[in-house]
Amino acid sequence: MKLQAFLPLVTYPDPNSAAIAANAVAVAKHLDADLRAVAINADIPSISSPLSGLLLDVPGLIRKAEMDSQARGEELLEKVKAEAAAAGVAVETGAIVTRLVAMEERAAEGARYFDLSLLGWEKDNVTSRNAAEAVVFGSGRPAVLLPEEGKVGPLDHIAIAWDGSRAAARAVADAWPFLERSSHVSIFSVLDEKPVKNDAAERLEAGLRRRGLQPEARRINTEDCPIAQTLQDHARQHGCQLLVMGGFGHSRLRDFVLGGATEGILGDLRMPVLLSH
C-alpha cells in the first residue's frame, strides 16, 4: 500500500513560495508516496456600502485580489506538476475556493484523508504559519514543515526529540515511514529543560534497535538557548536531515496555545521538522 501525502498550498494574502514544490516532491519521492496538491484560493466577501464603489472601487479590488489568488494557485500547481514529472512522482492537483476565515480549517480538513501533510514554511509568512498550525493541531495526522530556505536532500539520518511523553511517542510512531528508510537515528534528550527520566533516551534506543534501526541516544543541554534552537542546532551539527518531535499545545476558537518547543519551532524553523500532535 502506497503512502498518500497531502500538500495544501495557501495563496492569499501571503502565498507559499515556489520552493515548496521541489521540497514536497523530494519528500514524496523519498517515501515512494503519491502526492495530492491542492491550491486554497480566496473567496473575499463584498462590502455593502453606498461609498464602496465610489471612493476606492472596492468591488474591483476584491475581484483583482481573488484573481491574483487564483493565479498564484495555478502557478504553484504547475510548478508541483513539473517537479513531480521530473522526479517520477505520481501527483494529482486540484483547487478549492473558500472564505478567508475558513482557509486554515479547509487545509486541516483535507489533511485528515491522507497519511501525512507536507507544508511550506516561509519566514514571516503569517498565512503559511496559520495553515501549518491548523493542520498540526486539527488534522490528527503528522505534518512535515519544509522551510523555504534550503533544499531537501537525502533523509537518511533522522533526529528524534525525546522526553518520554505521549506526544513524543506519537511522533515516533508517525515518523516510522522515515525511520524505516533511514541509515541512522539520533535520539536527543534535553536534560535541563524539564524533568526527564534518566533512562528515557536509552529505553527508546533499545526499542528502536530491536526493530532493526541504528539509533544512538544523545543527552544535551540547552545552555541558556531556546529549546527549539538547541534541538535544531544539535540535529544539524550531527548531520541529521529531519527532526521528529511531538507538537505540544491546543487550539480554542482558532487561537493557538503552544508549548515552548513547538512555539520555538514554528517561530524559527531551520530544517525539515515532522510535528505530530
What are the residue ranges spanned by the domains of the chain?
4-147, 157-276
Contact predicate 226/215, CB 8 Å: no
Peptide bond preceding 13 in cis form (omega within 30 of 0): yes
Q: Write down the pLDDT at residue 266.
A: 75
**pLDDT at res. 258:** 41
Is a pLDDT exceeding 60 seen at residue 195?
A: no
> Do the domains 157-276 and 4-147 match in fold?
yes
Q: What is the pLDDT at residue 265?
A: 78
Percent of the chain predicted with pLDDT > 70? 88
**Range with the lowest mean pLDDT among 89-103, 139-153, 201-215, 257-271?**
257-271
Q: What is the predicted pLDDT for the residue at 199?
A: 82
Grid cell, residue 96, equals 478549492
Task: Return the pLDDT at 178.
Answer: 98
What is the CATH number assigned to the segment(s) 157-276?
3.40.50.620
pLDDT of 20: 97
Q: Give the tens place of pLDDT for each residue, 241-269.
A: 999 998 765 454 344 444 456 677 777 88
Q: What is the pLDDT of residue 95?
A: 98
CATH numeric code, 4-147: 3.40.50.620
How many Cβ atoms are within 10 Å of 107's Cβ, its own excluded? 28
Instruction: Specify the pLDDT at position 254.
Output: 43
Closest of 134, 104, 121 to residue 249, by C-alpha: 134
In this prediction, residue 229 carries a pLDDT of 86
- Nearest C-alpha neighbor of 171 from the set 204, 147, 194: 204
Closest CA to 34 of 90, 114, 103, 104: 90
- Specify whether the CB–CB gap between 214 and 183 falls below 8 A: yes
Burial class (CB in 10 A: 0-12, 13-18, 19+), 2: exposed
Nearest to 277 by CA among 260, 255, 262: 262
Report the alpha-carbon distance of residue 245 to residue 239 in Å, rounded: 17
| Cα atoms in the Cβ-side hemisphere of radius 13 Å centred on 141 | 24
pLDDT on residue 263 = 73
Q: What confidence score (pLDDT) does residue 252 get? A: 43
Give the per-residue pLDDT at 50. 57
The mean pLDDT value for 100-108 works out to 93
Is pLDDT at 193 greater than 80 in this prediction?
Answer: no
Instruction: Report the first-to-last Cα separation within the chain, whole angstroms.
Output: 24
- Cα torsion 80, 76, 108, 257 to 10°: value is 120
Q: Are 10 and 103 in contact (CB under 8 A)?
A: yes
